[in-house]
Structure 1
Amino acid sequence: MDRTTIDTYTRAAQQYAGEWAGQPPPDDLYALLLQYFRPGGVTADIGCGSGRDVAWLNAKGFLATGYDASEGLLAEAAAQYPSYAFQHAELPELAGVPRGNFDNVLCETVIMHLSPEQVGDACRRLVDLLKPNGVLFLSWRVTEGNSARDAAGRLYSAFDAQLVRAALAGTTLALDEAATNQSSGKSVHRIVAIRRA
């Protein structure tokens, strides 16, 4: 992932955790996860941030582990949710995250922090994590025009959704839509991909 973005999240981890905790719950996201994810399945949250979605997933019976590139956010997650598992991993490689191990993979608004050249590799790696018939829920914040950084230095890459679709070979798309994230109010694109057996 983009090193400046990771450093920004780590440096201000407590601030970002507080901001996310203060947002409305992402009930639209959660409804989709309940609709598409394999009930009770082994689940990875890639880019788990401060752990909110890992806690929700476990509360709903999913066996969820959170992975993030920011040590600061992982520390926040472990402090807030000590009962759950959190580990360090970075897209696109996700070194240490086992392939073919998960019924469900969540990657919610993360891949826009990669350079456009890394997005395809990251999507292929996310599919590699799934068991046959496993489900990937993938979303990203949509950046119009050119890639840019926000005032804090976080990278928001601009890329076409077709780049993601092309990288999801070997899957069936069950959902492919532009939407507004209910929690953040930002424009996002959402894809649900099911790995073929």
Structure 2
Amino acid sequence: MTSGNLLTDNPELYEARFPDPDLLAGRWAEDCLRRYGAGPGVLDLGCGTGRDAAHLHRAGRSVVGADLSEAMLAYAGERHPGPRYVRADLRDFSPGPAGPIRSVGPVGPDVFDAVVCLDSALLYCHTNDDLDGFLASCRRSLSPGGLLVAEMRNGAYFLGRDDLLNTPTDNSLTWQGVSYRSTTTLHIDRTAQLLRRTRVWTADDGSAPVEQRSAWRLLLPQELRHFLTAHGFAVLELHDGPGPRSEPPWQEGDVPGTAADADRLHVVARLTD
């Protein structure tokens, strides 16, 4: 068995495994931006394959998509053109040529009207210092009154629930004539406050299995609210749905909910100082 991230290394396989034919994630983010009157400049952090960044671009926004994966960025530029794509670490980024970007380059020459961070990308900030770095970078990168729009797993869902934990789940798909099977297991590391994931990929082309290990920070709603407030953000929405990955999923015209109990968490916050 080898180790690696088969999906990050093969963005087309990622889109096959996690299709979004109705572009719900990008449409939901655009709905949030419109509802609170965000200006046109948007930074999509953790942009992945660029689907959501490209949708925001087509909606008339000036978009920079940022990710750590060179493969994802190359794919995004080819398959989802329109935004400008750059490599950046969401734990420490800043606009301008002199920005401290962990040696991966600045995200752009100007401040933004909104930062968008979807599909639990924010939860790759595993420590409090990581979260402080992310939010401090957002604050430096946003114009006065700028928005932060994020969507992620909800740490509160796992309080007393284990239906998603410790039991392998299988998924199969065929890509480029090869049949793939993934077996995914989630477990909680309570000491580190992380949801850890092990995913093993096998294929019928004779290649060795690939094991991927990753983790997300488990943030509780009020904990997230505290971090945002401490960094000068006013929370406008904090709820478990509807959203692009909630059940049932968000539809055009849906209004934000008020509960924060289900397995997804959605936040919109405005920089106030």
Q: Normalised by the shorter chain, which TM-score bucket?
A: 0.7 to 0.9
1:157 matched to 2:204? The reply is no
Q: Is the 8 A contact 1:68 1:88 kept in 2?
A: yes
Q: Go from structure 1 to structure 2 and tell me whether the alpha carbon gap of 1:14 and 1:37 turns closer, same or farther (over 3 Å shift).
A: farther
Give the Å deviation of 1:35.
1.3
Give the Å deviation of 1:126.
1.9
Q: Is the 8 A contact 1:100 1:131 kept in 2?
A: no
Query: Aligned residues, how many?
Result: 192
What is residue 238 of structure 2 aligned with on the other side?
176
Unaligned runs of 5+ in 1: none
Give the Å deviation of 1:131.
0.8
1:97 matched to 2:95? The reply is no
Q: Normalized per residue, which structure has more helix?
A: 1
Q: Go from structure 1 to structure 2 and tell me whether the alpha carbon gap of 1:99 and 1:159 turns closer, same or farther (over 3 Å shift).
A: farther
Match of 1:127 among 139, 152, 158: 139
Q: Which moved more, 1:59-68 or 1:173-182?
A: 173-182
Q: Which moved more, 1:179-188 or 1:120-129?
A: 179-188
Once the two structures are superposed, residues 59-84 of structure 1 have per-residue CA deviations (whole angstroms, 9 ceiling, x without a partner) of 11111110011111111111112333
What is residue 250 of structure 2 aligned with on the other side?
none
Give the Å deviation of 1:37.
4.7
Name segments (4+ residues, structure 1) moved above 6 Å: none
1:188 matched to 2:264? The reply is yes
Name which one, 1 or 2, has greater alpha-carbon Rg. 2
Partner Cα separation in structure 1 for residue 37 and residue 151 of structure 2: 15
What is residue 23 of structure 2 aligned with on the other side?
25
Partner Cα separation in structure 2 for residue 85 and residue 101 of structure 1: 14
Partner Cα separation in structure 1 for residue 108 and residue 227 of structure 2: 19
Give the Å deviation of 1:127.
2.5
Describe how 1:1-197 pairs up with structure 2 within 5 A: 7=5, 9-26=7-24, 27-39=27-39, 41-94=40-93, 95=101, 96-97=106-107, 101-108=111-118, 109-117=120-128, 118-143=130-155, 144=158, 146=188, 147=194, 148-151=196-199, 152-168=212-228, 169-179=231-241, 181-183=243-245, 187-197=263-273
Q: Go from structure 1 to structure 2 and tell me whether the alpha carbon gap of 1:160 and 1:184 turns closer, same or farther (over 3 Å shift).
A: closer
Q: Go from structure 1 to structure 2 and tell me whether the alpha carbon gap of 1:159 and 1:183 turns closer, same or farther (over 3 Å shift).
A: closer
Q: Is the 8 A contact 2:77 2:85 kept in 1?
A: yes
Secondary structure of the residue aligned to 1:179 is: coil
Unaligned runs of 5+ in 2: 94-100, 160-187, 189-193, 200-211, 248-261
Partner Cα separation in structure 2 for residue 134 and residue 99 of structure 1: 16
Secondary structure of the residue aligned to 2:42 is: strand
Partner Cα separation in structure 1 for residue 272 and residue 34 of structure 2: 20
> What is the percent sequence identity of the aligned residues?
22
Q: Is the 8 A contact 1:69 1:90 kept in 2?
A: yes
Over the aligned positions, Cα root-mean-square deviation in angstroms equals: 2.6
Partner Cα separation in structure 2 for residue 150 and residue 184 of structure 1: 22
Q: Is the 8 A contact 2:53 2:63 kept in 1?
A: yes
- TM-score calculated relative to the size of structure 1: 0.83
Once the two structures are superposed, residues 39-71 of structure 1 have per-residue CA deviations (whole angstroms, 9 ceiling, x without a partner) of 4x2111011111111111111111111001111
Q: Is the 8 A contact 1:97 1:129 kept in 2?
A: no
AA matched with 1:111: L
Partner Cα separation in structure 1 for residue 73 and residue 18 of structure 2: 14
Give the Å deviation of 1:172.
1.5
AA matched with 1:172: A
